[in-house]
Chain A
Amino acid sequence: MPILPRPKLSSEAEIPTASMADIAFLLIIFFMTSTVFMRDKGLKLVLPEKTDQIVTIGGERVIRVSINDQGDIFLEEEAVTPLDLKDKLTQRILDYKAKHEGKDPLVIIRTNVEAPYERMIDVFDIIKQIPEARAVSLASIKTGG
Chain B
Amino acid sequence: MRLRQKVSTRTNIPTASMSDIAFLLLLFFLVSTKFRKEIGFKVLLPEARATERIIKTENLARVYVNSKGQISVDDFLVLPEGVSTRFKLKVLENPGIIAYIKADKHVKYDYVDQILEALRDAKALRVIFATEFKKG
Which chain B positions have C-beta within 8 A of A118? 46, 105-106
A24 within 8 A of B: yes
Q: Is the CB of A50 within 8 A of B120?
A: yes
- The distance in angstroms between the C-alpha atoms of A46 and B125, with both chains bound, is 6
The B46-100 residues at the A interface (CB cut-off 8 A) are 46-54, 57, 60, 65, 100
Which chain A positions have C-beta within 8 A of B8? none
Q: Is the CB of A45 within 8 A of B46?
A: no
B122 to A: closest C-beta gap in Å: 10
Q: Is the CB of B119 within 8 A of A41?
A: no
What is the size category of the interface that chain A forms with chain B? 35 or more
- The distance in angstroms between the C-alpha atoms of A67 and B50, with both chains bound, is 20
What is the size category of the interface that chain B forms with chain A? 35 or more
Of chain B, the residue at the smallest CB distance from A71 is B109
Q: Is the CB of A47 within 8 A of B112?
A: no
A140/B125 contact (C-beta < 8 A), A17-B19, A24-B22, A47-B116 known: no
- The distance in angstroms between the C-alpha atoms of A124 and B51, with both chains bound, is 11
A128-139 contact mask (Cβ, 8 Å, vs B): 1 or 0: 110000000010
Q: Is the CB of A42 within 8 A of B19?
A: no
- The distance in angstroms between the C-alpha atoms of A113 and B26, with both chains bound, is 50
- The distance in angstroms between the C-alpha atoms of A118 and B127, with both chains bound, is 17
The B23-56 residues at the A interface (CB cut-off 8 A) are 23, 25-26, 29-30, 33, 36, 46-54
23 residue pairs from A and B, CB less than 8 Å apart: A18-B15, A21-B21, A31-B33, A40-B54, A41-B51, A41-B130, A42-B51, A42-B130, A44-B126, A45-B127, A45-B128, A45-B129, A47-B120, A49-B120, A115-B109, A117-B105, A117-B106, A119-B109, A120-B109, A121-B105, A122-B48, A138-B116, A140-B110
**Chain B positions near chain A (C-beta within 8 angstroms):** 15, 18-19, 21-23, 25-26, 29-30, 33, 36, 46-54, 57, 60, 65, 100-101, 103-113, 116, 119-121, 123, 125-134
